[in-house]
C-alpha cells in the first residue's frame, strides 16, 4: 500500500487525500486508512478522480451497503446513483444545513459525492462538525440537551419537494412509509463513541417533552448554533472531485450561488449490520 498523503483543511474538519487512484481495486489497508481519515476528519476529499459509475459504486461499497434514496432522479444505467442536476437559483433541499435522511429508522453512514460538471464560479459545499457543535455548548446547555429527544419527519421537506415538482402521490406514499421518528438530540457515534448534535433544518420539526414555545426557542437556537463558522470547512469543487462525509457527525450545505449547470452523482452508504 502506498502511503496516503492526508492534508487537513482546518483543525477540526475536512482533509484532502492524495496519492490514491479510486479507479483501482483498493487493497484492504488503503480502505482502512481512508476510513480512519474519515473518522478523524469527518469529511475527506479527492481531486482528479475520473471514475466511472461502476467504479463510484465499487468504491462506496467498500465502506458499507448501498442505500438507494427514496426520491430524486437516478442515473438510468445505475439506479443506485442519485443525480443532482441543477442550475441556480437553486435553493431547495440541499441549500439548508442538514444531515441526510434522519427521518429513516437507520440514517446512512455517509455519502460519496462526485462532481461531474461544475459551474465556472460558485457551487461550493460547506460541511460542519457536529462533535464541536455539541462540545462548544455551555455545560448547563449540554446537560439540558443530553436529556432531550426530537421528532424527525418529512413534512417540511415534502412541502419543498412539491414546489420542486415531485409528484403529490409519491409524496403521500413516502409520508406513509416514513412516519415521524423520535430520536435523541445528542447522538453517540457508533465507531468513535463521541457525542454529536443530531438536529437539522430539513427533518427536525420539534423537541419532544417540552412545550411548543420551549421547543420553538431551543430548536431555533440549536439550528442556528450548528451553522457557526468555526465548525465548518468549505470545499471548492472541480470536475472529478469527490467528497465522502460521515453523515453521523456532519451537516452539509450546498451554496446556491451559481448560474451555470452543476451536475453531481451521489452514492449513499449504510452502516454494516
Residues catalogued as catalytic: 98, 100, 252, 266
Is omega for the bond preceding 89 within 30 degrees of 0, making it cis? yes
Please tell me the distance from the alpha carbon of residue 160 to that of residue 163, in angstroms, as a whole number: 5
Cell of 41: 476528519
Q: Is the dihedral of CA 15, 19, 21, 26 positive or negative?
A: negative
Please tell me the distance from the alpha carbon of residue 71 to that of residue 208, in angstroms, as a whole number: 27
125-129/232-235 β-pairing: antiparallel
Q: Is the dihedral of CA 179, 174, 58, 126 positive or negative?
A: negative
Q: Are residues 79 and 66 in contact, defined by beta-carbon separation less than 8 angstroms? A: no
Please tell me the distance from the alpha carbon of residue 241 to that of residue 51, in angstroms, as a whole number: 10
Q: What phi and psi, each to the nearest 5 degrees, are found at residue 127?
A: -130, 145
Please tell me the distance from the alpha carbon of residue 141 to that of residue 139, in angstroms, as a whole number: 5
Please tell me the distance from the alpha carbon of residue 64 to that of residue 234, in angstroms, as a whole number: 26
Please tell me the distance from the alpha carbon of residue 229 to that of residue 197, in angstroms, as a whole number: 16
Q: Are residues 11 and 132 in contact, defined by beta-carbon separation less than 8 angstroms? A: no
Amino acid at each position: 500500500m502506498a502511503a496516503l498523503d492526508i492534508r487537513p483543511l482546518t483543525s477540526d474538519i475536512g482533509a484532502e487525500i492524495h496519492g490514491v487512484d479510486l479507479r483501482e481495486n483498493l487493497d484492504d489497508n488503503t480502505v482502512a486508512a481512508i476510513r480512519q481519515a474519515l473518522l478523524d476528519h469527518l469529511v475527506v476529499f479527492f481531486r482528479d478522480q475520473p471514475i466511472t459509475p461502476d467504479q463510484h459504486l465499487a468504491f462506496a461499497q467498500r465502506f458499507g451497503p448501498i442505500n438507494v434514496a427514496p426520491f430524486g432522479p437516478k442515473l438510468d444505467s445505475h439506479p443506485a446513483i442519485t443525480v443532482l442536476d441543477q442550475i441556480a437559483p437553486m435553493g431547495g433541499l440541499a441549500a439548508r444545513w442538514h444531515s441526510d435522511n434522519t427521518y429513516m429508522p437507520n440514517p446512512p453512514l455517509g455519502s460519496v459525492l462526485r462532481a461531474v460538471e461544475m459551474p465556472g464560479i460558485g457551487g461550493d459545499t460547506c460541511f460542519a462538525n457536529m462533535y464541536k457543535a455539541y462540545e462548544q455548548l455551555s455545560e448547563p446547555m449540554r446537560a439540558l440537551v443530553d436529556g432531550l429527544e426530537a421528532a424527525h419527519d418529512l413534512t417540511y421537506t415534502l412541502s419543498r419537494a412539491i414546489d420542486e415538482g415531485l409528484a403529490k402521490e409519491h409524496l403521500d406514499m413516502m409520508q406513509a412509509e416514513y412516519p415521524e421518528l423520535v430520536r435523541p438530540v445528542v447522538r453517540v457515534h457508533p465507531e468513535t463513541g463521541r457525542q454529536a448534535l443530531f438536529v437539522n433544518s430539513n427533518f427536525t420539526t420539534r423537541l419532544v417533552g417540552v412545550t411548543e414555545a420551549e421547543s420553538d426557542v431551543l430548536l431555533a437556537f440549536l439550528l442556528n448554533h450548528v451553522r457557526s463558522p468555526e465548525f465548518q470547512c468549505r470545499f471548492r469543487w472541480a470536475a472529478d472531485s469527490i467528497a465522502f462525509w460521515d453523515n453521523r457527525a456532519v451537516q452539509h450545505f450546498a451554496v446556491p450561488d451559481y448560474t451555470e449547470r452543476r451536475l453531481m452523482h451521489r452514492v449513499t452508504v449504510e452502516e454494516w449490520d
